Amino acid sequence: MTRTYLDFNATSPLRAEARDAMVAAFDLVGNPSSVHSEGRAAKGLLESSRAAVAEAVGASNADVVFTSGSTEAAALALAGRALAAAPIEHDAVWSWAGEALPVDADGLVSVAEPDGATLQFANSETGVLQALPQGLAVSDITQGFGRVPFAFSWSGVGMVFLSAHKFGGPKGVGALVFPQGTDLAAQIRGGGQEMGRRSGTENLAGIAGMAAAATAAQRDLADGVWDRVAQLRNILENAIAAGSDETIFVGKAADRLPNTSCFVTPGWKGETQVMTMDLAGFAISAGSACSSGKVKESRVLRAMGYDADTAGSAIRVSLGPTTTEDEVLRFAEAWTAKLRRHRARAA
């Protein structure tokens, strides 16, 4: 059976550029903290990678601290601050939240006091994009980076964080970006690496892969790759709508990521759809993939006003630069056939 991967918001395939950079980094034996020639060579790669990530994020005059991913970066940015947040945030952010921010039916968040709040750039489940207010304390740009234009320099946000595997880098590496001179206490203490903000020997190969992927992701964005992906997303939704007039496309009235479609078919559980389509050869999701394999009711959709049964009937299809029109149409055809079978059994 031919497998079709349509779960790019969970993780993206490793880019060739990232793989090549990682293989080259594996040949460097030195520790970046060592002062001998081997150590200096490793340090040189670390700092050139840091500069590449800063440039890709539009943060040439900011500090970039490498972490194990967005979850750790979120903890570094948010611990002890009790910033206001909306229940549509990823668990890595929501778990640190203070006051809850209001969410409307389109998934858009109102922020009255930006300097005391954190707000995601794009939602992983619905793809809904937020207009980040000037002076916002922290933003999770994990899903949006490399897919829609963003630059730290003009965003007006105090701190942002991202994770390499969402844009074709390796899993297990991310970064927190913030202005130079920011007072930021380390959560992991030890040897004082990463400018004293995050101790522990750096994951040099992962960081090199992240830098290469970030550069390639920005090139794809500039080349219009994601405009083509948006067209495929629209083809998908039109095909799904043609086969099911009861299906609801979540957040469609708002600006969304070009690759993300979250849709609800009442009476057909999302987890059942995921398993059914997996057996048919398609990898999709019923929501965020960062809950240790658990399938649970979507807090995001509940915050948008959907009842429990409706929220439990949502699936997410997320496309990528390698997705083809044939794959999208084959998915829609297979999904529609499975829906008819489900209806027949339920009758």
Are residue 189 and residue 302 in the same domain, yes or no? Answer: no
Rounded-to-10 torsion of CA 93, 98, 99, 100: 30
Q: Mean pLDDT over residues 82-104, rounded?
A: 97
Residue 292 has pLDDT above 50, yes or no: no
Give pLDDT, residue 287.
66
Q: Could you tell me the pLDDT band of residue 2, with boundaries at 50, 70 and 90? A: very high
Tell me, yes or no, if 290 is annotated catalytic: yes
CA distance 284 to 125: 11
In whole angstroms, give the CA distance from residue 2 to residue 86: 39
Which pLDDT belongs to residue 346?
84
**Of 162, 191, 222, the domain-final residue:** 222
Distances (CA, A) of 288 to 11, 184, 280, 285: 10, 29, 21, 7
Distance from C-alpha of 102 to C-alpha of 113, rounded to nearest angstrom: 12
Query: Which of 222, 243, 276 is a domain's end point?
Result: 222
H-only helix segments in 261-312: 270-279, 299-303, 308-311
CATH code, 303: 3.90.1150.10
250 and 316, same domain (yes or no): yes
Q: Residue 293 has what pLDDT?
A: 55
Domain of 73, CATH number, reads 3.40.640.10
Q: What is the pLDDT of residues 19-48, one digit of tens each?
A: 999 999 999 999 999 999 999 999 999 999
Question: Mind listing the pLDDT tens digit for each residue in 314-334?
Answer: 999 999 999 999 999 999 999
Measured N-to-C along each axis, helices 16-26 and 204-222 cross at an angle, to the nearest 10 degrees, of: 160
* Segment 125-139 mean pLDDT: 98
C-alpha span between 15 and 20 (Å, rounded): 9
pLDDT per residue as tens digits for the range 148-204: 999 999 999 999 999 999 999 999 999 999 999 999 988 889 999 898 899 998 999
Whether 10 and 166 have beta carbons less than 8 Å apart is answered as: no
Is 311 a residue whose pLDDT tops 80?
A: yes
Q: Which residues pair with 138 in a beta bridge?
A: 118, 159
> Is there a single domain that holds both residue 234 and residue 301?
yes
Residues 73 and 109 reside in one and the same domain: yes
Rounded mean pLDDT of the chain? Answer: 95
CA 57 and chain centroid, separation? 14
Residue 17 has pLDDT above 60, yes or no: yes
> What is the pTM assigned to this prediction?
0.95
270 and 340 housed in the same domain: yes
Q: Which domain holds residue 142?
A: 16-222
b/e string for 310-342 if b means 16 or more Cβ within 10 A?
bbbbbbbbbbbbebeeebbebbbebbbebbeeb
Residues 163 and 273 in one domain: no
Q: How many domains does the chain have?
A: 2
158 and 283 part of one domain = no
Predicted pLDDT of residue 61: 86
Count Cβ atoms within 10 A of the Cβ of residue 39 and give its class: 0-12 exposed, 13-18 middle, 19 or more buried: middle
Which residue would you say has higher pLDDT here, 288 or 141? 141
Domain end position, chosen among 201, 222, 243? 222
Same domain? 213 vs 236: no
pLDDT in tens, 217-228: 999 999 999 999
228 and 214 part of one domain: no
Residues 290, 303, 317, 332: which is the catalytic one? 290
What's the whole-number mean pLDDT along residues 67-90? 97
User: Looking at residue 294, what is its pLDDT?
Assistant: 54
